[in-house]
Structures are given as C-alpha cells and as structure tokens.
Amino acid sequence: MTSVKTDVKEIGLYINGEYVPASNKNTFDVMNPATQELIARVSEATEEDVDRACRVARDAFENGPWRRMTVQERAAKLRKMADIILERKEEIARYDAMDVGKPYEATVGHEVARAAHNIRFFADFVEKQGGETYPMGEEYINYTRYEPVGVAALITPWNVPFMLTTWKLGPCLAGGNTAVIKPAENTPLSVSLLGEIAKEAGIPDGVVNVVQGQGSVVGNALSTHPEVDLISFTGSTATGKRILKSGADTLKKVSFELGGKAANIIFEDADLEKAVPGSIRAAFMNSGQVCLAGSRILVQRSIFNEFLEKFKEAAMALKVGDPQEKGTDMGPLVSEDHYNKVTSYLEIAKEEGAELVCGGKRPELPEYLYKGFYLEPTVYISNNPKSRICQEEIFGPVVTLIPFDTEEEALQIANDTDYGLNGVVWTENLQRAHRISHHVRAGTIWVNCWFVRDLRAPFGGFKKSGIGREGGHHSMEFFTEAKNICIALK
Ligand SMILES: NC(=O)C1=CN([C@@H]2O[C@H](COP(=O)(O)OP(=O)(O)OC[C@H]3O[C@@H](n4cnc5c(N)ncnc54)[C@H](OP(=O)(O)O)[C@@H]3O)[C@@H](O)[C@H]2O)C=CC1
Ligand SMILES: CCCCCC/C=C/C(=O)O
C-alpha cells in the first residue's frame, strides 16, 4: 500500500486577482509529514511582494467597490464563496491531509464544512445587524454606523489552516475590509486557494490576497506595514508578543487567539461513558495539535484508577496511520522540528519523574510511513502540577493525568497556569458544574462536552491565551469602526 501520490504542486502568491511568482522567483519546499515526500514548491514572498500585496489591498479598499456595496450585495458574494468551498471540499481536505497530516475523513466531514459555515454565518450576521439610535429630545438625534476598518492582515497557524483562516476572513469581508492572508509556512496549500475562490464568487480583485513564506520575514513585514490597519492573529503566545511589538509603531488594532493548556476535570460523579471518549477527543484530536486540547487531565482520586484504565484502553485503541486512509484517528505531527519539540517532552517527563502509562514511542507502521513524524498517544501520571509537562503547551499527543481530592484543589490546579483559553468539566452535579465553570479562569468552559461551537458565542482567551474575542458581534466589533452621527433637528 502507498499513500496517495500526487504531482508536486507549484503554488504562487495570490495578489490582485492572480497567482504570481515571488519577485525574486524564490520558492520553498513543502513536505508531506506522513512520508517526507516533496508535495509542493511555493513562491516565497519577499518584503517587496508583501508591500505590493498591502498596497493592492489598500487600493481595493479605498477605490474599489467592495466597501461601497450594500451588505446584501456583499453577503450574496460571501454565500457564493461558502458554496464554492463546499463544492471543492475534497480538494481542500486533501490539501490539509497532505501538508498538515490531518485525517482526511474528519477534515472533509467537519473542518471544511465548518469553514463554509464560517463564511456563510457572517454573511447572514451582517445582514441582520442593526445600529443604535439615541434621540436627544426634539433637538438632536444620534445614530451609529459600522464602517470597515481598512486593510487586515490575517496571520494563521498550521494546525487548522483552512478553517481558522475562514474564521477570520468571514467577518473581515462581511465588514467591508480587504485582506492580506499569511498562512503558516509548513501548511500553505489549502489557504492558497482562498484568493481564487473569492474571485470565482465575484469578490473584486485585490480584496483577498495571499502571501506565503516565513513568519519572521513575511509575517513581520505585514505586522510592520503602514498600509495594514489591523491584525487578526492565531498562533503561539511567543509570536503574539512579537507581533504586538512590531505593530506598535503603526498602532494597529489586534485580535489574538493564542496558546492553551486546558484543565480537563473529571469529578467522581462524572458519567465515564461520556467523560472517557470526550477526554480522548480533547487529548488526541489532530494529534493533540490543538490550542483547546484538554492536556491536563485532573481526575478525582476516588475514581482515578477506574478512569485511568478506561482512558488508557481507549488511547491505545486509536488508529495511528496514513491521514489519507479511511479509519485513521491520528496522523503524524506536522514537521520534523515539531516532532523534535514534542518528543523532547518525553525526556523532560522522565527527568521530572512522571509515570509513563502508555505511548512514548513511534507506532509500528507500514514501510511507506517509516519516515513520517509519528508518535503514539502518550499518557503520563504526575503528582506535580508545577512540572513542565503540566505547565507548558506541548501541542502533541502527550497528556498528563493529575489526581486531586477536593473541588478547591481541582480549581487551584486548574488555574495554576499562564494560559486561560478553555476548561472542561465532567460532572453530573448541576451546582458543581456551575460553581467550577464560574471559577476556572478561561474564555470557554465546556461541561460534559468539548469543542462544541456556536459561532455567535465569544471565543478567546484569558491571561496569555489571547487578546479580544472572536465570534458573532465580537468579531464584527473588531472588523468594523463604530461611528456616531449626531444630527441637529432644528
Ligand atoms: N487560540 C486559538 O484559537 C488557537 C491557537 N493556536 C496556537 O497556535 C500555536 C501553533 O501554531 P504555530 O503555527 O506553531 O504558531 P506560530 O505562532 O509559530 O505561527 C503562527 C503564524 O504566525 C506566523 N509568524 C511567525 N513569526 C512571526 C512574526 N515574527 N511576525 C508575524 N507572523 C509570524 C507563522 O508563520 P510561519 O509558520 O511561517 O513561521 C504562522 O503563520 C499554538 O501555540 C496554538 O495553541 C492554534 C490554533 C487555535
Ligand atoms: C481540530 C480543530 C481545532 C480547532 C481549534 C481552534 C478552534 C477555533 C474555533 O472553533 O473557532
């Protein structure tokens, strides 16, 4: 058996409605992390290319029709875009499976569908959005308008490239802004299609541009560019800090979705029929390369052994393998560098005295996957919540079970982190569910579920997990400027 073989793709930058090479004709190679085969050569933008993309986006914003269209006209084009995404869902999911190593089946069924929903949701949202009016007796009346901000830089990570980019692009375009998108260098394939999909949907040239290349060059050029008015960024906390500094001189608006180290708390009254599979998903979906991963599993001591046995059995039953193949639960890690980072925590865990329950090594795989960056689902037990494996975002299929006795202790451990993106609570006690949800310091708490999303709800992090919120009117507030108009009536 072999993985799906494809020709090496040649991918250009997408600027002003067409694919173009980099100004110096340089390209970079993209590998399939499941096999280390070369899958694409991608044009590597220079600062000059980024400058051109930003100027094109500025011109499309100032002089083009996009921001002048009625919301109904813009919404119709966005709905068309969502339709095209669904029509091309196999191609998009195949791309994400090829460069991220995501299981194709889950990607085509969930993530690409969600990507289309991201665009359609904001088309519907802006059509229904009203303004405010504040009459001042008979003499004056105030009313508000929500106007686009300008040129947005959308900088996105490699773990969920297409879906997370559309999560930003939907509200950006619905608000009447123009965009320069920069996907992660490891995973440029699916996002490279967004410019042509926008064009096919009738969105004017220059409104959606995609530049490719390294964060330190291309991302930095965007974050410092005078024509960029706002930056919506999803990625690591370390990069978020850098972008905040680079954007400071030009006073850019920022929205940051950053890292996480969620506590997944299992109380003794939890229904383990739900808590075990739910915790497995939260731990190992996307090979654990998920900001929302429930990677610190806090288990009440009275049920610790029972939970441990069930969790271990379920983790070991996950099918690790070729992301292109039906039935694969977990693909490889995204790259050699990332594999080295994740596996360095296996050494750290040993030094910290954590007990290895299962995993911690490469799985046995067919020969054609020998070079892939695979790691078995790995589970530790630790009694030291302050240890590095319990504090740092490993971003791989490595989780730690931590025993606790009381609610107070669970809360203390849950909140003992720099991060605050989300938390998960498993209990059949309604009062406890509310109590714990109120006291865990994080932007989203899931009770007896994980990663259930309503796009109207605020999404974002406390502490070092982010700045601002995305979702519904939160996204629209970021991507628009509220203007008050005060009219004298006499
Ligand atoms: N809160 C949330 O919703 C989510 C958060 N994340 C977080 O993302 C991280 C994983 O993604 P990862 O790609 O490694 O994150 P990085 O922060 O390394 O990269 C994210 C993006 O920023 C770019 N970038 C890197 N350096 C700079 C710079 N100096 N200026 C501007 N842009 C730059 C990267 O480019 P390049 O790749 O080319 O270096 C990439 O496109 C994890 O910490 C995870 O928790 C992920 C998903 C959701
Ligand atoms: C495998 C999917 C992980 C998605 C992580 C971030 C989600 C953001 C959102 O739902 O908007």
3, pLDDT greater than 70: no
Burial class (CB in 10 A: 0-12, 13-18, 19+), 212: buried
Contacts of 318 (CB under 8 A, 6+ apart): 280, 284, 329, 330, 377
Instruction: Check if the beta carbon of residue 429 is closer than 8 Å to that of residue 448.
Output: no
Dump pLDDT digits (tens) for 404-423.
999 999 999 999 999 999 99
Residue 216 Cα to ligand 1 midpoint, Å, equals 11
64 plus 202 within the same structural domain:
yes
> Does the beta carbon of 215 lie inside 6 Å of ligand 1?
yes
Q: Percent of the chain, pLDDT > 90?
A: 99
Q: Are residues 253 and 272 in the same domain?
A: no
- Measured CA distances, 370 to 3, 4, 366, 367 (Å): 12, 15, 7, 5
244/325 same-domain check: no
Whether the predicted pLDDT of 5 surpasses 60: no
Which of 111, 185, 227, 257 is an active site residue?
257
Q: Which of 37, 7, 41 is nearest to 21 (CA)?
A: 41
Q: Which among 236, 250, 467 is the best mutation to test ligand 1's pocket, defined by most ligand atoms within 8 Å of the CB?
A: 236
Domain count, the chain: 2
Q: Is 282 in the pocket of ligand 2 (CB under 6 A)?
A: no
Measured in Å, residue 334 CA sits from the centre of ligand 1 at 13
Residue 3 within a domain: no
| Average pLDDT of the segment spanning 259-275 | 98
Same structural domain for residues 377 and 482?
Answer: no
Ligand 2 mean position, distance from CA 81 (Å): 21
Mean pLDDT (whole number) for 427-452: 98
Distance (Å) from CA 218 to ligand 1 centroid: 13
Separation between Cα atoms, residue 195 and residue 200, nearest integer Å: 9
Q: Does the structure show a pLDDT above 80 at 253?
A: yes
- Position 101 in a domain: yes
| 187 is a domain residue | yes
For residue 135, the enclosing domain spans 9-258+465-486
Q: What is the residue with the minimal CA distance to atom 27 of ligand 1?
A: 215
pLDDT at residue 20 is higher than 60: yes
Q: Does residue 118 lie within any of the structural domains?
A: yes
| 3-class SS of residue 378 | strand
Asked whether residue 478 is domain-assigned, the answer is yes
pLDDT of residue 236: 97
Q: Is the CB of 257 under 6 A from ligand 1?
A: yes
Check if the beta carbon of residue 300 is closer than 8 Å to that of residue 266.
yes
What pTM did the predictor assign? 0.97
Same domain flag for 144 and 214: yes
The verdict on whether 257 is a catalytic residue reads yes
Beta strand residue intervals within 196-289, DSSP E: 208-210, 230-234, 253-257, 263-266
Is residue 290 within 6 Å of ligand 2 at its C-beta? yes
The residue assigned the tokens 């990570």 is 157
CATH number of 439's domain: 3.40.309.10
- For residue 54, the one-letter residue type is C
pLDDT of 1: 35
Range list of H helices, 319-378? 336-351
CATH number, domain containing residue 45: 3.40.605.10
Residue 217, classified by CB atoms within 10 Å of its CB into exposed (0-12), middle (13-18) or buried (19+), is: middle
Tell me: do 49 and 83 sit in the same domain. Answer: yes
What interhelical angle do 430-439 and 407-415 show, nearest 10?
30
Instruction: Please check whether residues 426 and 301 belong to one and the same domain.
Output: yes
The rounded Å distance from CA 484 to ligand 2 centre is 35
User: In this structure, are residues 489 and 140 in contact, taking their beta carbons and an 8 Å threshold?
Assistant: yes
Same domain, 201 and 280: no
Protein residue with least CA distance to atom 3, ligand 2:
290
The ligand minimizing its distance to the Cα of 241 is: 1
ipTM of the shown complex? 0.96
The strand pair at 230-234 and 151-155 is best described as parallel
Same domain, 239 and 129: yes
Instruction: Please give the Cα distance from 118 to 391 (Å, whole number).
Output: 32
Q: Which tokens belong to 165?
A: 């980019």
Taking residues 231-255, report their average pLDDT.
97
Tell me, yes or no, whether 4 lies in a domain.
Answer: no
